[in-house]
Amino acid sequence: KAGVTQTPRYLIKTRGQQVTLSCSPISGHRSVSWYQQTPGQGLQFLFEYFSETQRNKGNFPGRFSGRQFSNSRSEMNVSTLELGDSALYLCASRGTGGSNTEAFFGQGTRLTVV
């Protein structure tokens, strides 16, 4: 069974640009969550999608958005990039077993804003 796949693995963008990251969950998983990981801050929750609906959103500005498609693949978009957006962006998928089940992480997309 293939794991969670994130593309691209690395990105370098300039301040003010926008970026789109992609996440393909484990086959059959309908819940996809996104996290931002920075040194010293751990993993911070961005948002969670289930069956194409955003069910939960973390405390991030509106420049961060996402969506989920009918095949459960998800994208997140960051507009008007700032230097502080440089981070590892991780997505995680869960099956249909409920919120207290294991979240499987992808390898992440390393975004560098210059």
Partner 1 sequence: GENVEQHPSTLSVQEGDSAVIKCTYSDSASNYFPWYKQELGKRPQLIIDIRSNVGEKKDQRIAVTLNKTAKHFSLHITETQPEDSAVYFCAANDQAGTALIFGKGTTLSVSS
Could you list the residues that contact partner 1 (CB under 8 A)?
4, 31, 33, 35, 40-45, 48, 50, 55-56, 58-59, 90, 92, 98-100, 102-108
The residue (of 81 and 111) whose beta carbon lies closer to partner 1 is: 111
- Residues 6 or more apart whose CB falls under 8 angstroms from that of 74 comprise 22, 23, 25, 32, 34, 49, 66, 67, 68, 91
Q: Which is nearer to partner 1, 17 or 54 (CB)?
A: 54
Residue with Cβ nearer partner 1 (84 or 98): 98
**Per the structure block, which two tokens stand in for 110?**
């390393």
Minimum CB separation of residue 113 from partner 1 in Å reads 20
Which C-beta is closer to partner 1: that of 3 or that of 16?
3
Q: In what order do the strands lie in the sheet with 74-78?
A: 5-7, 19-24, 74-78, 64-68
Least separation in angstroms between residue 31's CB and partner 1 is 7
Q: Are 48 and 72 in contact (CB under 8 A)?
A: no
Rounded to a whole number of angstroms, the minimum distance from the CB of residue 100 to partner 1 is: 4
Q: Given phi > 0 = left and psi -120 to 50 = alpha, else beta, which region is 61?
A: beta
Collapsing DSSP to helix, strand or coil, 93 comes out as: strand
Smallest gap from residue 17 Cβ to partner 1 (A): 26
